Amino acid sequence: QELEEQYSPSRWSPRLGSDTIVQAHLEATAAGTRRARAGARTSLHVPYGDGDREKLDIYFPADPAGTFPLLLYIHGGYWQCLSKDESGFAALPLVSRGVAVAAVGYDTAPTGHMDAMVLQVRRSVAFLVQRHAGIRGIYLCGHSAGAHLAAMVLSTDWTQYGVAPDIRGAVLVSGVYDLEPILHTYVNDELHMSQEVAQRNSPMLHITPAAVACKVLVAVAQHDSPEFRRQSQEYGQALRAAGWSVSLLDLAGVDHFDIIEKLSEESYILTQVGEELLPSL
C-alpha cells in the first residue's frame, strides 16, 4: 500500500485532487501545444517507423541558418497514456532562439511493452540524425516515464543503429530510473513487466562511461513523492560517480505535473536552466 502511494504522483499535489490533476495536466499541455503549432513552422506526424505511433512532430526555428540544435521531447504518462500530440508545449521559447524541437510518439501500454518503447525512442534519434544533416547537437528532455526513456537513450550502444548521434545534453524531469519498485504497484497491471524486463530497462543498472560533451540535468519537484525524489537523487549521484557532468535541481513550489507544464514559460527557472545546456544560446 505504501509503495502504491509513493508511485501515485497525483496524490502528492497540493494544487488539485488526484482525480482532477491529470486532466488539468492534459489540458495545460494540449493548450501549450496548440499555441506552439500556431506560432512555429512545423512538420507534423513524420513517420520514423511503420507503427501507428512511430511518428514525430517537429517544430523548426523560423529561420534555421543551415544548422540548428535539436531538442527531443519524450512525454510521460506512466508508459500508458499521453502522446506526442500534446507534447509540443515547450517549443515556443526554444524555436524563438533557433532551436528545433521534436516530440516523439511511441507505443504506450497495453499495445507497447517496455523493450519496444525503449527501442522506438532510440530509433527516433537515429532517424532524426539520418534525416536532418543540419542538426548541431541533440538534447534530450523527458518527463516522468519520458525521463526514464531519455535516460535509456543515454545508455544506448549506437553501433547497432549505424549512427553516432552527437547527444550533448539531457534534461530529466521527475523520472523513474529503477523499475523494480514499479513491479509491485498498480502501474505494472498494464505494463506486464517481468523482473528481467525491469532490470533490462532500468537506467540505474545500465550507466555507461560518460559521454565527454554531454551534460545531464536531473530535476525533481518539491511536491514529488519521497520515492520519486530518492530515485532522482540516486540516479544523478550514480551518473556523477561514472564521470558524467550532472546538475541536480530541486524545484520549489511545483508538483509532478506543473514542473514540466511551465516549460512553455520563458521566465520559468527550468526553461532558463535547460537553455543554458544549449551552447548556441
Which residues form the catalytic set? 144, 224, 256
Q: 259 vs 15, 162, 198, 239, 270, CA distance in Å?
A: 12, 35, 26, 22, 8
Cα separation, 16 vs 4, whole angstroms = 19
> Is 15 in a helix, a strand, or coil?
coil
Contact 178, 232 (CB under 8 A): no
Which residue in the block uniquely carries the three cell numbers 520514423?
48
6: its cell numbers: 509513493
Cα separation, 203 vs 151, whole angstroms = 6
* Beta-carbon contacts of residue 240 (< 8 Å; ≥ 6 apart): 246
What are phi and psi for residue 193, nearest 5 degrees? -80, 140
Cα separation, 215 vs 170, whole angstroms = 6
